[in-house]
Chain A
Amino acid sequence: MNDDVKRDEATARAGDVADQSGKSSVGETVRPGEDNVVTDQAAVAIEEPRLQYQSPFTVVDALPPGYTKKPAGEPERKIISFTIDGAEVRAPEGIMLVDAAKYGGVEIPVFCYEPKLGAPVGACRMCLVEIEGIPKLQTACSTPVRDGMAVITKSPRVIEAQNGVVEFILLNHPLDCPVCDKGGECPLQDISYGWGSGKSRTTEPKRHFEKPVALSDGIAIDRERCILCYRCVRFSQEVSEDYQLVLLDRGAGAHVGTFDGSQYIAPFSGNVIELCPVGALTSRAYRFRARPWDIEQGGSVCTLCPAQCNVSYTVRDDKVMRTLARDNNAVDDGWLCDKGRFAYQAWESEARITTPLVRQGDKLLPARWDHALDVAAAALKKSGERTAALAGGATTNEEAWLLRRLMLEGLNSPHIDSRRGGKLSLDVARTLTQPALTVSVPDIEWADAVLVLDSEPVDDMPILDLRLRKGVRRNGMKLAIATPRPSSLDANTALVARYAPGYAGAFAQAVQAELDGSGDVDDYAARAGADAADVRAVAALLKGAERPVILWSERMLYTTAGAAPAQALCNIADRLGVGEREGAGLMQIPIQANGRGLREVGFLPNIGPGLTDGQPGRTGMSSDEIAAALGSDISALITVNVDPIVEYPNGRTWAAALAKAPTVIAFSTWLDPATALHADVVFPAEVGPEKEGTVTHPDGRIQRLRQTVERAGEVNAGWWVVGELAKRLGLDLGVKIANQATAQIAAGVPIYEGITTTEIGGTGVRWQERGAASNLPAPDATTFLLEAPPAAPQPNGRLRLGDFKSLWSGGEVVNAATLRALASGPRRVELSPVDGHRLGVASGDTVTLKTESGELSALVALRDAVPAGAAFLMTDERDGNEALRAALAGAPELIEVVK
């Protein structure tokens, strides 16, 4: 459905590029001997009309999907010309012949070649071609094209070789296409038809393996069908770098598996299903669900984390059957994490809320929409100005925009927030949003130095992890990781810096001090609990780089240091001069999937849409203030896709505050603690494939969600519910379809001015690259004078407490059959072996953790890389654990571990 649109747009864009550059279309190939001017009119008349199909590949300077310009660091490629099957074709120098041939409209069959996997290996031999001057046939996938090369792909020699290779590949292939899940979308089927001889001479028995074997909960492997192309092994070894899949044994016995036969469990394991060119690796969840002719593909965007990967939902009988990655190199590079891939199962689970619920006594009971809306509207009418609203998670820009209007215009209340602490200062927000200071995702890949500050990419924004690995492995990126907890990227880094949990701001100030001498580096490093040598090394790395990039977590803003960490980042950006450098800059990794979009449409108490000034004299309360005022100055709270008890750091405060709130109205997918215990009215929220609207990627790319299946049960669109509530409060929001809300945003948010869903298209558009970006108000100050940062407390026998949240958390994980086993089991605390030895505990022991406010028990996990003196507690439970919240009340920095 959407893919067609996408393709059209890609073609149109490719055409535009060619027009703008003033080059002749390179697709029209010049055939020697055919270039005579036709003089005979009659000959023209009888010539058969040729189909003019312009493949997007035939434009030499076409950009990958999603790209609007070449990343600054990517080297230029010379355009050369070579001959393929007698036609002269122009192509960028050095690309592989397989790709170069496409510029001439020639298809060379491949199995193992996949540019996303990096350097070609030439394992399958399917791409053999003849090159003039080279006596033997060459693999087109691993031969770079050179100027003047003459390539023949259709000579009898090549055809014989292709037939031979297909015959060899089919030698042990079971040909069980009728029962194979890949049937109908199988490259091996296509290539056997297109390039095989159509006959088999084999009479010997074929190789047999036990089949199908579960490689993991998500993947089944059928080793008989495997053609040993190495794609999955290369993905595991060179892209996700989990080093689990290997090729075992030799000769006819060779097969793919994990070395010790254990399950293949990795955050990106599902990608091998899509990579497999035969039916050897198949999705167990999709097993036998549908055939390619039974299904429709619907393109949308995954909103489970800020990475906002582009996905394509496979739909049969109005049900999502599987999720595939949709190539958008500017966002996800064509990969998808397992959470995004298998979360669709959760949306059909019993646990999901699919009807409106209204509290009666201490029970939430299903209600009719009219009744639920009436109850909610009556409560809102009563509380009026004393209403507050929180939004988070996958809330779209449209929902946030309409809810903001409902609050400001319908209830006259400015108390709206999408952050989880105090207010963000306008200057800092504007400085960090400056287009010149923001990097795009492709820029990260080509940056020569990247600092990851206070974030574990694989948990916070998984697909970024692959991008960083790619940059390090292929583009010579130097990576610095500065986190309190050991990161999975540590092995790829040029340097690793550790500091006390929660003191990223002090670390940033120390780096700033090293860059501009604004303070004593040794003192600041000590305050951050970091090694001064690490700070100096980080500063030197950033200073020495041509295109430095800093990826920092929004979490940095929610510490006792207030705005200082963000201000330090502004200062560092200024000292490094990233504003003037192409391809250099900062990127915030938000905590919530559409965090950036919510803030940019103005879902903040003190900042208007597009970071304009808030209404004069009408500054609302931030989420912290709302929590404090709930029950007194605030009498009704609306939560949209957010559960403050579980998600916000001060969960216990929120639990107490919500208990005092007369009215809580929740838009929720799951019965999370705040919803289950405190909500008076619950509106069922839409999930990914049911949603229509736009979201904003952390790099400013506005992307479009498109509805692909009917909403489950009685679920209604979020914008509709907000509109109905407004109607009952006497306000007409003027929204009858989702697009009208988008149009309101285009008119009301200056930096998104004039944006349409057509312009957003299938791959999104970065607002920084549009003319309307100049509507961003200039900050009064871009650098800030900072005081010395607060010092991290000395442990004195106790341990510094840090927390972490695994990727495998949330309703989408525990309710999806494939992911359930990964859901982070019993609560664990990570300790260094040094502390483990000192305390006399080993991995798997249960210990008691004591803080000033409470205690709780956890399983010990000793990790070599954890710095001595620190303990990291997993906090991603959604079951409303009272002991955990009590222990963490008041954000304790030190913790005592007792055996």
Chain B
Amino acid sequence: MSLLTDNLYEAGDDVAVVQRAPEPGGATGFYRAFGETLRGLKTTLGRFVEGPVTIQYPEEKTPVYPRFRGRHKLHKFEDTDLEKCVGCSLCAAACPADCIRVVAADNDPDNPTSAGERYAAVYEINLARCIFCGYCEVACPFDAITLGHDYELSDYNRSDLIFTKDMLLAEPIERTPLRREGE
């Protein structure tokens, strides 16, 4: 560009300006051929020393945030071991995906299942339909249902994705780790 600005040639002249590099030497040539590669390798080797960051799923689980909305859990009172759910069906009413089915029944006062007059004889959530919005949790007047942290919900059969009350009441076999503060 400097040649043009230096006005050695008039604009419009039929001249082609060719810039040539100096003739390559030994070390300079090597550098020019592999320099950028080495710079890249430096980053690579640097991370190599840091150790792996990939999570070895499924041997290792991705931790989730505390407010992550995963598979539902039904709860019991810790002291009496009675189910908190009274089968009021409000979760089913709130569910936008229509994936909850509740059939209530009369609670036997001598051998109660829940703490109320009624209990959920059938409580099913079709997790193939659930959109994990958490409305059921919001609707529940007894904090009986919460969305847990489990996200491993794939299965070979659609009908296996209908979770029954016993499955929802049971503790998950493996706990999903939570993310630590600031992670």
Chain A residues near B (Cβ < 8 Å): 176-179, 183-184, 211-212, 287-291, 293-294
A179 touches B93 (CB 8 A): no
B89 interfacial by beta-carbon distance below 8 Å:
yes
A178 touches B142 (CB 8 A): yes
A–B Cβ pairs within 8 angstroms, 22 of them: A176-B117, A177-B88, A177-B141, A178-B88, A178-B90, A178-B141, A179-B88, A179-B116, A179-B117, A179-B118, A183-B88, A184-B93, A211-B117, A287-B118, A288-B106, A289-B104, A290-B103, A291-B88, A293-B89, A293-B93, A294-B89, A294-B92
B93 touches A288 (CB 8 A): no
Using known A-B contacts A178-B86, A178-B142, A287-B106, determine if residue A293 contacts B118 with beta carbons closer than 8 Å.
Answer: no
For the complex of A and B, the 3 pairs showing the least CB-CB separation, nearest first, are: A178-B88, A288-B104, A291-B89
Minimum CB–CB distance from A635 to chain B (whole Å) comes to 52
The distance in angstroms between the C-alpha atoms of A290 and B141, with both chains bound, is 18
* Chain B residue at smallest Cβ distance from A211: B117
A291 touches B105 (CB 8 A): no
The distance in angstroms between the C-alpha atoms of A288 and B103, with both chains bound, is 8
B70 interfacial by beta-carbon distance below 8 Å:
no
Minimum CB–CB distance from A206 to chain B (whole Å) comes to 16
Using known A-B contacts A178-B86, A178-B142, A179-B86, determine if residue A291 contacts B118 with beta carbons closer than 8 Å.
Answer: no
Q: Which residues of chain B are within 8 angstroms of A291 by Cβ–Cβ distance?
A: 88-89, 92-93, 102
**Interface range, B side:** 10 to 19
The distance in angstroms between the C-alpha atoms of A212 and B118, with both chains bound, is 12
The distance in angstroms between the C-alpha atoms of A350 and B125, with both chains bound, is 32
CB-CB contacts below 8 Å: B82-126 with A: 86-90, 92-93, 102-106, 116-118
B117 touches A212 (CB 8 A): yes
Mostly, the A contact residues are loop
The distance in angstroms between the C-alpha atoms of A178 and B144, with both chains bound, is 12
Minimum CB–CB distance from A219 to chain B (whole Å) comes to 15
The distance in angstroms between the C-alpha atoms of A596 and B105, with both chains bound, is 43
- Which one of A176, A179, A184, A211 has the greatest number of beta carbons of chain B within 10 Å? A179
Using known A-B contacts A183-B88, A293-B89, determine if residue A178 contacts B105 with beta carbons closer than 8 Å.
Answer: no
Q: Which residues of chain B are within 8 angstroms of A293 by Cβ–Cβ distance?
A: 89, 92-93
Taking A176-B116, A177-B88, A178-B88 as known contacts, 4 extra A-B pairs with beta carbons closer than 8 A to each other, sorted by chain A number, are A179-B88, A179-B118, A288-B105, A291-B88
The distance in angstroms between the C-alpha atoms of A184 and B102, with both chains bound, is 15
- Residue interface bits B2-17, CB-to-A below 8 A is 1, else 0: 0000000000000000
* Chain B residue at smallest Cβ distance from A183: B88
Chain B residues near A (Cβ < 8 Å): 86-90, 92-93, 102-106, 116-118, 141-142
The distance in angstroms between the C-alpha atoms of A176 and B86, with both chains bound, is 11
Minimum CB–CB distance from A286 to chain B (whole Å) comes to 11
* Chain A residue at smallest Cβ distance from B98: A293
The distance in angstroms between the C-alpha atoms of A288 and B116, with both chains bound, is 12
Minimum CB–CB distance from A182 to chain B (whole Å) comes to 12
- Which one of B87, B89, B92, B105 has the greatest number of beta carbons of chain A within 10 Å? B89
* Chain B residue at smallest Cβ distance from A184: B93
The distance in angstroms between the C-alpha atoms of A294 and B141, with both chains bound, is 19
The distance in angstroms between the C-alpha atoms of A293 and B94, with both chains bound, is 10
Q: Which residues of chain B are within 8 angstroms of A177 by Cβ–Cβ distance?
A: 88, 141
B87 touches A288 (CB 8 A): yes
Q: Which residues of chain A are within 8 angstroms of B90 by Cβ–Cβ distance?
A: 178
Minimum CB–CB distance from B82 to chain A (whole Å) comes to 13
Q: Which residues of chain A are within 8 angstroms of B141 by Cβ–Cβ distance?
A: 177-178
Q: Which residues of chain A are within 8 angstroms of B105 by Cβ–Cβ distance?
A: 288
Using known A-B contacts A287-B106, A288-B87, determine if residue A178 contacts B93 with beta carbons closer than 8 Å.
Answer: no
Q: Which residues of chain A are within 8 angstroms of B88 by Cβ–Cβ distance?
A: 177-179, 183, 291
Q: Which residues of chain A are within 8 angstroms of B104 by Cβ–Cβ distance?
A: 288-289
Q: Which residues of chain A are within 8 angstroms of B118 by Cβ–Cβ distance?
A: 179, 287-288
The distance in angstroms between the C-alpha atoms of A183 and B87, with both chains bound, is 12
The distance in angstroms between the C-alpha atoms of A212 and B105, with both chains bound, is 14
The distance in angstroms between the C-alpha atoms of A204 and B3, with both chains bound, is 98
Q: Which residues of chain B are within 8 angstroms of A211 by Cβ–Cβ distance?
A: 117
The distance in angstroms between the C-alpha atoms of A211 and B107, with both chains bound, is 13
* Chain B residue at smallest Cβ distance from A291: B89
B92 touches A178 (CB 8 A): no
The distance in angstroms between the C-alpha atoms of A163 and B174, with both chains bound, is 52
Minimum CB–CB distance from A408 to chain B (whole Å) comes to 50
Using known A-B contacts A288-B87, A291-B93, determine if residue A178 contacts B106 with beta carbons closer than 8 Å.
Answer: no
Minimum CB–CB distance from A815 to chain B (whole Å) comes to 21
The distance in angstroms between the C-alpha atoms of A290 and B88, with both chains bound, is 9
Minimum CB–CB distance from B169 to chain A (whole Å) comes to 18
* Chain B residue at smallest Cβ distance from A317: B103
Q: Which residues of chain B are within 8 angstroms of A290 by Cβ–Cβ distance?
A: 103
The distance in angstroms between the C-alpha atoms of A183 and B104, with both chains bound, is 13
The distance in angstroms between the C-alpha atoms of A294 and B102, with both chains bound, is 9
Q: Which residues of chain A are within 8 angstroms of B116 by Cβ–Cβ distance?
A: 176, 178-179
Minimum CB–CB distance from A489 to chain B (whole Å) comes to 38
Minimum CB–CB distance from A898 to chain B (whole Å) comes to 49
Minimum CB–CB distance from A587 to chain B (whole Å) comes to 44
* Chain A residue at smallest Cβ distance from B121: A288
* Chain B residue at smallest Cβ distance from A316: B103
The distance in angstroms between the C-alpha atoms of A290 and B118, with both chains bound, is 12
The distance in angstroms between the C-alpha atoms of A211 and B116, with both chains bound, is 12
Q: Which residues of chain B are within 8 angstroms of A294 by Cβ–Cβ distance?
A: 89, 92, 102
Q: Which residues of chain B are within 8 angstroms of A289 by Cβ–Cβ distance?
A: 104
The distance in angstroms between the C-alpha atoms of A291 and B104, with both chains bound, is 9
The distance in angstroms between the C-alpha atoms of A293 and B88, with both chains bound, is 11
* Chain A residue at smallest Cβ distance from B119: A288
The distance in angstroms between the C-alpha atoms of A176 and B142, with both chains bound, is 11
* Chain A residue at smallest Cβ distance from B105: A288
Minimum CB–CB distance from A854 to chain B (whole Å) comes to 48
The distance in angstroms between the C-alpha atoms of A784 and B118, with both chains bound, is 66
Minimum CB–CB distance from A456 to chain B (whole Å) comes to 37
Minimum CB–CB distance from B16 to chain A (whole Å) comes to 70
* Chain A residue at smallest Cβ distance from B142: A178
Minimum CB–CB distance from A876 to chain B (whole Å) comes to 32
Q: Which residues of chain A are within 8 angstroms of B103 by Cβ–Cβ distance?
A: 290
Minimum CB–CB distance from A632 to chain B (whole Å) comes to 57
* Chain A residue at smallest Cβ distance from B144: A178
Q: Which residues of chain A are within 8 angstroms of B106 by Cβ–Cβ distance?
A: 287-288
* Chain B residue at smallest Cβ distance from A178: B88
Minimum CB–CB distance from B119 to chain A (whole Å) comes to 9
Minimum CB–CB distance from B98 to chain A (whole Å) comes to 10
Q: Which residues of chain A are within 8 angstroms of B117 by Cβ–Cβ distance?
A: 176, 179, 211-212, 288
* Chain B residue at smallest Cβ distance from A212: B117
Minimum CB–CB distance from A318 to chain B (whole Å) comes to 14
Minimum CB–CB distance from B87 to chain A (whole Å) comes to 7
* Chain A residue at smallest Cβ distance from B118: A288
Q: Which residues of chain A are within 8 angstroms of B87 by Cβ–Cβ distance?
A: 288
Q: Which residues of chain B are within 8 angstroms of A179 by Cβ–Cβ distance?
A: 86, 88, 116-118
* Chain A residue at smallest Cβ distance from B116: A179
Minimum CB–CB distance from B164 to chain A (whole Å) comes to 16
The distance in angstroms between the C-alpha atoms of A575 and B118, with both chains bound, is 64
Q: Which residues of chain B are within 8 angstroms of A287 by Cβ–Cβ distance?
A: 106, 118
Minimum CB–CB distance from A221 to chain B (whole Å) comes to 13
Q: Which residues of chain B are within 8 angstroms of A176 by Cβ–Cβ distance?
A: 116-117
Q: Which residues of chain B are within 8 angstroms of A184 by Cβ–Cβ distance?
A: 93
* Chain B residue at smallest Cβ distance from A293: B93
* Chain B residue at smallest Cβ distance from A294: B89
Q: Which residues of chain B are within 8 angstroms of A183 by Cβ–Cβ distance?
A: 88
The distance in angstroms between the C-alpha atoms of A184 and B90, with both chains bound, is 9
